[in-house]
Amino acid sequence: MARLKLGVMISGRGSNLQALIDACKDSAFPADIALVISNIPDVQGLERARKAGIPTQVISHKAYASKNEFEEAITAALTKAGVELICMAGFMRIIGSTLLNRWRGRIINIHPSFLPFYPGLHTHKRALEDKATSAGCTVHYVEEGVDTGAIILQAAVPIEPGDTEESLAARVLVQEHKIYPEAVRLIATGAVRYEEGTVIKNIAIALAFLFLLGGPACAENSLRDSEIKIRAGMHIPADMVACKSNEDCAAVDLPCGPTLGIRADRKAEAKSLICAATQNCPASCDGSAVTTPYALCEDGQCWADYRRK
């Protein structure tokens, strides 16, 4: 199978670029980096790419009279390199309509918060000021607006007593380096696809790549079937299940690795629920009483209630 050609766009040190470079070194990884573009010359990320033998190009926004011309130049470079998916990795410019209209559904970004919480800048500072109990990171498709696109994959990171912006950022970055390559893998293998502003996913494949804090999902979780709507790429801790009620869950084994075996031969006791709608949460979930510690809704509202308790 041909590997998906990536174009990575950066503005700085390129640590997430390095995570993608490292992933692409594995011949089994279904993608390869065709081009790295930076809008700023002489940044560390460019040197990382050169050391890996990856073509680079500096396209400075300052060299163009308008954003349209700037993005036309980027599109020309990406097209010439045969790029099929754009990965934003610390690219510090807001994407405009020229790039979006040409590449919609083929641009992804990694953001250092558990969206929809804390879009934009200073995510860790804001989380600490709010006395949130967890932070995280999100890979999402790029749309108009800041960090508003459909979510592909997420990981949560607990906020520890005494955390500073720097210490929290360092732990979140570890998870960024894990979920960004996995999000690319999901897209390249067809486990996730973009359709009219939403993420459509093969749940059986996608769940196999979800991360727990510290590694791939290697614990028993539960899943009813594809009719249950969970947020695409939602981080699911080991003590949670995706089902409509405690009595309506089939067990799922999540081994380390890309294979997911679904066992529908027994019930699973729900320690938590993923609800179908905000209004049913946390008092009830799909009409069933919630007797669990907390409930997690699609849109994140109940997650917000939980994480601030």
Contact 103, 135 (CB under 8 A): no
Question: CA 61 to CA 69: how far, in whole Å?
Answer: 9
Mean pLDDT of the chain: 73
Concatenated DSSP letters of 139-200: EEE--SSSS-SPEEEEEEEEPPTT--HHHHHHHHHHHHHHHHHHHHHHHHTTSEEEETTEEE
Question: CA 42 to CA 215: how far, in whole Å?
Answer: 34
Tokens of 245: 């009620």
Residue 207 belongs to what H/E stretch? helix 203-208
Q: Is 254 exposed, middle or buried (0-12, 13-18, 19+ CB in 10 A)?
A: buried
Going from the N-terminus, what domains does the chain have, and what CATH number goes with each?
A: 4-204 (3.40.50.170), 217-307 (no CATH)
Average pLDDT value for residue range 283-289: 37
Report how far apart, in Å, the C-alpha atoms of 70 and of each of 90, 147, 192 are.
18, 21, 30
| Annotated active-site residue in 61, 111, 122, 235 | 111
Calculate helix-pair angle for 44-51, 15-24, nearest 10 degrees: 10
51: confidence class by pLDDT, cuts 50, 70, 90? very high
pLDDT digits 0-9 by tens, 207-259:
433 332 223 322 223 333 222 233 333 333 333 333 333 333 333 333 322 22
Those residues with Cβ within 8 angstroms of residue 164's Cβ, 6 or more apart along the chain or in another chain: 128
Question: CA 273 to CA 8: how far, in whole Å?
Answer: 37
Q: What is the largest CA-CA distance in the chain?
A: 64
270: confidence class by pLDDT, cuts 50, 70, 90? very low
Quick check: helix, strand or coil at residue 22?
helix
pLDDT digits 0-9 by tens, 115-148:
889 999 999 999 999 999 889 999 999 998 889 8
**Quick one: the chain helix, strand, coil %, rounded to 5?**
30, 25, 45
Residue 211 belongs to what H/E stretch? strand 211-212
Contact 278, 301 (CB under 8 A): yes
DSSP-derived secondary structure letter, 238 = T
**Residue that the structure tokens 């790549």 belong to:** 209
Q: Which pLDDT score is estimated for 201? A: 59
The yes-or-no answer on residue 111 being catalytic is yes
**Residue that the structure tokens 């994480």 belong to:** 307
